Structure 1
Amino acid sequence: MKEEIRIAIFGLSLNVLENMKQKVHLMYDDTIHIHWANIADPKLNILLVNDMFFASPTIQNLVGTQKIPYLRLINKQDKSGRIEGDKLFLPFIESDEIRKWFKDRYLQVPVNPKVERVIAYRAKSLDIHKVIQEFLNERNGNLQIFDSYGNIALMNTRTEQIWMEQGKNIQSTDTTLNYTYATMQKAQSVSDIQGLDLRYWLWNTLWRSESLVKDSSSKVFYKLQYWPQPSTAKDRQDIFKIAACFERGASMVQIEKKLGISMPIIQKFVSTALFANVLKEIDESEAQLIIQTKPTESTLRGFFGKLRLKLGL
């Protein structure tokens, strides 16, 4: 049985990615099987990452906390095929230096302590709510959105448009969702193309992303800031009913009583809405949703008793 090494390459275009995979494959002999993984793979052995994405919390967790051997990929023609510290310069060219690096990583030669200190300094924890809030910050301009499976889209926070990565039909994401600032070249490539509405995309992507959950109390009161635009008919009715209640200001408990919709669906709405800034928290005194309740038998007796006294009966 062949020995296996798991390698992830992140943040490259499909053409460059395939070319690099072929050349890396040729550096290992037939006794070793290369498994091309994604960055969420818990058994990852080597990470090759576009330098644009290196500072992201997801990547920093891999190289800093999990200490996955890595190289930052940087385009520089005059240094092509060279390794300097933790940088590998592209275009990728096989060389003795590169072969040695890959062989050493397979043999688990320790990372240079100097490099480890740099990684530890950069490492940060990922706060998914803060990441998503940056999508709604118009000052950010052009952002490249990605998760552990690769690039998702280019986003312009000023015009609130988003352009999906070509050839991908991405329906959902997970806790590795992140961003980096897009290059001018990338932004110019879509300058004449009408993008999707950012808030429409954000709501529907978050709604379908089961692992993205924001906890909240069922007794807290919220008010709708803008109406969501669900893409599927099967969800639309419940979403619009819940939104209509929150438009007046309400709690999840109140909405459950008024609509009879299950609490998990209401909680899912609130979680998605808080991530996407669809809801804001308010005081109970500001809530205007009125719950019609059936009068109890004792209430009716009291009412008719007062009525008899008033009429002298």
Structure 2
Amino acid sequence: MERSFRASIVGLGCSDVVSIRQHIHDVLADGGDVSWVPANQENLDFLVINSCFISSSSIQSLIRKNALPVLLVNHSPKNEEIEQNIISLPLFENSRLKNWVQEFVIDKKRAAISQAAPQSVDQNPAVIESTNLLKGFVSKAQGLYHLSDTRGAIGVVDTISGLMWLVPERSTSIDMTGSLKSEVVSQIPRQHRSVDLMQWLWEVIWSASSCATLVPLEQLIEIKIWPQPFRKSDRKDMLILSASLAQGTSSAHQLALDTKIPLSRVQHFVSALVTSGFAERVDRMPEVTPQAHQVERAVVAAEQTVIRRLLSGLRNRLGL
């Protein structure tokens, strides 16, 4: 069930705002949580507007721009009725409001997410074989293993020290659909550069579009290690997703709902986590599902930790 929504109330007095929020909270009690934000925020799921203001140019522009469900509010003797998306206050019974929320908010969001979901396709056997070979390095016997693909040598996997020694011109670009090979070697070439093995494995899967759907959308996972993406452009989303997972067991589908990050990107992130050993599949349902405000607090805390580490390292370098 969808659990996290963003909404805004426009043009209502304080008492009406409190009343509407409480009624919507009540109808979502078993299946959702609403974050009330300003109307100019992005990724809104629905709007609640005073019917007197619906014709204003700013409101019409907002509705056209976002294609949002709109619940209009007025005061009328027709209590409890919702006609043409208009609700009349005071409201004494929630069944009609609950039906509106289900149809125009919950069902619409579910349909949008399903439409955006990656198409289900049979995995290429070569991709599965390559992925299994890479996963094997996480638990492989200690030793040195030369790794190559159709483009040539990639580097040497050092399971003794947990490092990947890369050929200078290679990084995380690997042909996962070709023949990935591994063989035991006795030494590491001098010109090779080292990176953390598990982090490199995560980055390889994350960089391979053929590995984007290795983990099903509804598979529950539990994060063990937070990835540290090589590319700066990935770091914000990865931090938000890791912080959300740190609050408890979740799935790619639920993570996309909680974080507002595109579902295809979230599924690829989860696939990379599980394949690299940064997360584990779990079969039990989580006892507590993180709400949006918990995720936000976790993200802020994670960002503060990163900043403190950077400042500490800078002070040490400067001798302060």
Shorter-normalised TM range: 0.3 to 0.5
The higher-RCO structure (CA 8 Å, 6+ apart) is 2
Larger Rg: 1
